[in-house]
Amino acid sequence: GQQLNQSPQSMFIQEGEDVSMNCTSSSIFNTWLWYKQDPGEGPVLLIALYKAGELTSNGRLTAQFGITRKDSFLNISASIPSDVGIYFCAGPNSGGYQKVTFGTGTKLQVIP
Amino acid sequence: SQTIHQWPATLVQPVGSPLSLECTVEGTSNPNLYWYRQAAGRGLQLLFYSVGIGQISSEVPQNLSASRPQDRQFILSSKKLLLSDSGFYLCAWKQGNNSPLHFGNGTRLTVT
């Protein structure tokens, strides 16, 4: 099946720093979704991307749909302690849009 | 607006006991419904999804089953729990092929 690889797997950053993470796939995706999961809770949708090359912002978060349609990037500017959590990329499988595959996750720790 | 409810929030069950986790969605009709499992500190594994009443697709052969007795109700069951069934179970819904998934708050299951 389709796999989504995220990097880095985890990162420690200082409060106020910018953060970049990415997600790559071996196959083409038509939609890219970015989620954040706080400990003990369900993932919450941050940004949805529907078009190759699309760049979308949500507050301090910016995500891009890669031109090749095989990758996506999430940037967080001026990190704050509440940015701590696990960030997942996801996308519906091209073989059947009902199924949504999730990436391996990037665990973010922010040092105050 | 749409809401998703999942219960219980936590559950401790002995090995060999049955399981029933319930998920309901409000404010929408004919949603796609999903059960995911998340092992500690890891990604989300799709277990089952349903595109309509009585229609269940299983992604991973295992000790669990799912049912959709009503349009907005999705149930995850087991006749006899195994230790390996422990994990964080997440219910989710989406409307239409290319729309994002929306998650419940999850059930933490510990099999002892």
Instruction: Kindly report the nearest CA distance between residue A17 and chain B, in angstroms.
Output: 24
The amino acid that residue A111 corresponds to is I
CB contact under 8 A, B43 and A30: no
Model confidence at B10, pLDDT cuts 50, 70, 90, reads: very high
Q: What are phi and psi of A81, to 5 degrees?
A: -55, -35
Residue in A with minimal Cα distance to B45: A102
User: What pLDDT, in 10s, does the model give residues A80-89?
Assistant: 999 999 999 9
Instruction: Kindly report the nearest CA distance between residue B44 and chain A, in angstroms.
Output: 6
Average pLDDT, chain B: 93
Q: State the average pLDDT over residues B5-29.
A: 96
Is the bond preceding A43 in cis, omega lying within 30 degrees of 0? no
pLDDT < 70 stretches in chain A = 1-2, 93-97
Choose the closest CB to A41 out of B57, B101, B105. Answer: B105
Which runs of E-coded beta strand occur in chain A? Answer: 4-7, 10-14, 19-25, 32-37, 44-49, 55-58, 61-65, 71-76, 85-92, 100-102, 106-111
Instruction: Give ∠ CA B73-A3-A44 in degrees, rounded to 5.
Output: 45
Contacts of B43 in chain A (CB under 8 A): 88, 102-105
Of the two residues A10 and B59, the one the predictor is more confident about is A10
User: What pLDDT, in 10s, does the model give residues B93-110?
Assistant: 999 777 899 999 999 999
How many Å apart are CA A77 and CA A75, to the nearest integer?
6
Model confidence at B38, pLDDT cuts 50, 70, 90, reads: very high
Average pLDDT, chain A: 92
Contacts of A87 in chain B (CB under 8 A): none
Instruction: Kindly report the nearest CA distance between residue B18 and chain A, in angstroms.
Output: 23
